[in-house]
Amino acid sequence: MTAKPAVGTPARPGMTIPTFIFALYNENQKRGPGTERHWGLLDCNGKPVYGVDLTGELESNDDQLPMPQNNKPYQGKIWCVVASEVNPEQLVSALIYACSQGNGTCDALMPGKECYEPFSLLSHASYAFSSYWAKFRSLGANCYFNGLAVQTTEDPSRGSCKFPTVTL
């Protein structure tokens, strides 16, 4: 879909810009998260969801966008912990991966060490994820573990067990 004649953008006037519409209508019958159902330009009853002129007949208003109110990146400590509602079978392999990288990533989880108790898969995996991310982030590691981990600003440490952290 392109404009005729080619209108372009303020930075590239007169250029043809190919445009693709992913979904014309919202999908009110689609299962899943709410945002997955709201990618259409029109509601199920045909009313516009967004103020998009598909005819090209309306005057363009080149109003400047408002300045962002909070455009500062987060600065502080972040931990990598197990996400809610994960499959324990998948968690085991992720824990093994995080702990098998060497450099003492999971030394604190050994029997008698400060993070051995409580002896639970969730607790040990959270420590392992946070430790792995803190040690290997500078080499490109992330806090994802195939969707099993999330970042948090709440310190998961307890008692003498201090979780490694990433400071931004």
Q: Would you list the domain boundaries of the chain?
A: 1-63, 77-167
What's the pTM value of the predicted model, to 2 decimals? 0.61
| Torsion, CA 68, CA 142, CA 106, CA 154, rounded to 10 | 20
pLDDT one-digit tens code per residue, 28-81: 666 655 556 667 777 777 788 777 776 777 776 666 767 777 778 889 999 999
Cα separation of 90 and 98, whole Å? 13
- pLDDT (0 to 100) of residue 115: 97
**Cα–Cα distances in Å, from 52 out to 5, 56, 59, 166?**
18, 9, 12, 42
pLDDT in tens, 101-157: 878 999 999 999 999 999 999 999 999 999 999 999 999 999 999 999 999 999 999
How much of the chain exceeds pLDDT 90, in percent?
A: 51
How far apart, in whole angstroms, are the C-alpha atoms of residue 58 and residue 136?
53
What is the spatial distance between Cα 15 and Cα 36, in angstroms, rounded to a whole number? 32
